[in-house]
């Protein structure tokens, strides 16, 4: 029995592939689905084998095809007030509710539904499916998958369409980013003797306030022409979580937080990395002047290139031809499109759904957007069959 795009969405959402957990059950399903059509997928596991990316080639073994790229992981539902089971697709009021329906198992389902269509039409240019893991924690799974595609004899596609939710608008640029895990190690002492101790929390707060000041300065600066298209039109620094301390009357021994940067295209990620590390060294030196055993440990856990507009880009041209969208769109979220682009592919973002629904309780994709995605896939197959 042929699974429809909606059937595939139901199946994909049923696998709770939260980034902290394995995605292998979903990958097993996709492998079986593809093999049912005589398509042999390639699995690219992570270092410990608990997760895997997957890619597949459909059609003639020639260069010049199109990659449909998506990710298989979703964000947690912990602490969110859902009205329905987040891992069961529920249709109500013209919407399909479920974790990942919008971001981005909706597109993954559409991409997989293209396989029987491509085989039935006898496409002349190949279609490739690429599904990664750990996108939600820094696009970690896409680079080894792309490198494997490039180095293991897969016919070289020239176009990549990343299906992140864009309301089927053609996105030609997005911000890149870097993320750091920060561990400030202080020196405990009774807070009445604060001048002899080093509070990890208070020193960490200095780094966080540095980020606040940086954001304020960037907001006042005149943006470049490319940056001006973004909202906000500048590189930003952000701390989303923080933990530390023992008691109200003890200078904190430890403080941990993440510092992330969203970098506009055209700016050097290395510049922002070095700026941050210089501030870390400055504050650490002042801590060690009080207690030499104190330190700040920084671990970079992701680095994501931005997507830059291309001159006469094949991906943009194809996406515009299929959607009829001729406006200019940029987004501040990151995707694997920049990772494909830095490896020589032409890439853009175009997918169903509204990014405002992503990561939210009661996440949904509208039935209308899902239908537009199906129509997009049908037009793509027509294009590949010419």
Q: Which residues are catalytic?
A: 73, 135
| Alpha-carbon span 84 to 94, nearest angstrom | 15
Residue among 9, 41, 17, 28 nearest 110 (CA): 9
Alpha-helical (H) ranges within the chain are 5-14, 24-35, 105-121, 142-151, 200-220, 269-290, 314-323, 337-342, 367-385
327: DSSP letter: S
Contact 99, 13 (CB under 8 A): yes
Exposure pattern of 171-209 as b/e (b: 16+ CB <10 Å)?
bbbbbbbbbbebbbbbbbbeeeeeeebbbbbbbbbebbe
227: DSSP letter: G
Contact 326, 172 (CB under 8 A): no
Exposure pattern of 124-161 as b/e (b: 16+ CB <10 Å)?
ebbbbbbbbbbbbebbbbbbbbbeebeeeebbebbbbb
């Amino acid at each position: 029995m042929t699974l429809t795009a909606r059937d595939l969405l139901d199946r994909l959402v049923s696998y709770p592939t939260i980034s902290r957990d394995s995605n292998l059950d979903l990958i097993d399903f996709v492998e079986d689905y593809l093999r049912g059509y005589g398509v042999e997928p390639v699995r690219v596991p992570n270092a410990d084998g608990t997760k895997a990316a997957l890619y597949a080639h459909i059609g003639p073994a020639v260069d010049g095809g199109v990659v449909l790229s998506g990710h298989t992981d979703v964000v947690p539902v912990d602490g969110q007030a859902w009205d329905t089971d987040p891992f069961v697709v529920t249709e109500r009021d013209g919407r399909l509710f479920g974790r990942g329906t919008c971001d981005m198992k909706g597109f993954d389902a559409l991409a997989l539904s293209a396989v029987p269509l491509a085989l039935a039409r006898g496409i002349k240019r190949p279609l490739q499916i690429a599904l990664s893991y750990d996108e939600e924690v820094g696009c970690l799974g896409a680079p080894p998958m792309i490198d494997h595609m490039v180095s293991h004899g897969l016919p070289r596609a020239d176009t990549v369409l990343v299906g992140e939710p864009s309301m089927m608008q053609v996105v030609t640029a997005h911000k890149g980013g870097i993320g750091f895990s920060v561990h400030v190690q202080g020196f405990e002492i009774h807070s009445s003797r604060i001048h002899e101790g080093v509070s990890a929390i208070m020193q960490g707060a200095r780094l966080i306030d540095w980020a606040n000041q940086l954001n304020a300065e960037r907001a006042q600066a005149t943006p470049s022409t490319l940056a001006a298209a973004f909202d906000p039109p500048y590189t930003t620094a952000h701390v989303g979580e923080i933990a530390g301390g023992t008691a109200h009357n003890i200078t904190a021994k430890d403080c941990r937080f993440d510092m992330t940067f969203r970098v506009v295209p055209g700016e050097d990620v290395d510049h922002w990395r070095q700026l941050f590390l210089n501030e870390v060294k400055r504050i650490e030196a002042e801590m060690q002047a009080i207690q030499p055993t104190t330190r700040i440990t920084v671990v970079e856990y992701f680095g994501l290139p931005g997507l830059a507009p291309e001159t006469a880009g094949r991906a943009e041209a194809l996406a515009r031809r299929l959607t009829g969208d001729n406006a200019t769109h940029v987004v501040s979220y990151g995707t694997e499109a920049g990772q494909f682009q830095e490896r020589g592919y032409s890439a853009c973002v175009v997918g169903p759904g509204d990014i405002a629904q992503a990561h939210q309780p009661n996440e949904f994709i509208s039935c209308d957007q899902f239908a537009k995605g199906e129509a997009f896939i049908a037009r793509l197959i027509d294009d590949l069959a010419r």
